[in-house]
Amino acid sequence: MQLIDTHCHLYSKEFGRDIEEVIQRAEKEGVTKFYLPAIDSKCQEALLTLEARHPGKCVGTTGLHPCHVKADWEAELEFVASELGRRSWVAVGEIGLDFYWDRTFEKEQYAAFHRQIEWALRDRIPIVIHSRNSMQESIGVVREYQRGGGGALRGIFHCFSGDAAAAAAIVDLGFYLGIGGVLTYKNSGLAEAIRDIPLEWMVLETDAPYLAPVPFRGKRNESAYLRYVAAKLAEVKGVTVEEVARVTTENAQKIFGN
């Protein structure tokens, strides 16, 4: 059984002491590839180091996370632009809007989101969207581009935790739902939200070191725990874990092209 963790921050300091063991544990559970979304310029060295240590297995993206859109956001975007010009990337991410912690730079978050979407369209690569407390606003931005650009934009709504209407709207826009540990949380409502969405529009993720699934909730998350998400998704959809693994892996390969 092959699984792909489409979103994990394995380069973060939380894995500084045991990253090799973390990867080995994941591989024992069938996880064959790890996509590493960027946060800002400061994370890039660690991301690239891990990618170089595990070529073809750990695959990085580049982008400016909305929580890191601060006073220096223009300089941070210049860094993303330079990275996009320096080499090929499989995606721009993670990008988007976050209105949970702080809305001080809301206008700048929108500007950064739009600019990075335009770069993704230019380079014909997908985007990975962060949409905490901003689901409808993020859907609205994507809808703008899909209407004006003939549906050329593609990607994943990472850590989807919206309702059934939001799930349907995202799929209607040609985007995939990133399903992680939240699915295993008793009162999340996520199982009901995605019940009628075909597996063909979902990918698996951990968001490690965050959002560990039950029975590890509250602890450091890692990619080995992806199997708990796959098992819960199989239960929700009424299919085997092997079917979930097969379809979600194929979806990840379609999105990222490798």
The string of pLDDT tens digits covering residues 38-91 is 999 999 999 999 999 999 999 999 999 999 999 999 999 999 999 999 999 999
pLDDT for position 245: 98
* Beta sheet of 202-204, edge-to-edge order: 92-98, 127-132, 155-157, 176-179, 202-204
pTM over 0.75: yes
pLDDT for position 101: 83
The string of pLDDT tens digits covering residues 121-170 is 999 999 999 999 999 999 999 999 998 777 899 999 999 999 999 999 99
Q: Please, which residues have CB within 8 angstroms of residue 232's CB and are 6 or more apart in sequence?
A: 183, 184, 191, 213
**pLDDT band of 204, cuts 50, 70, 90:** very high
Determine the residue type at 55: P
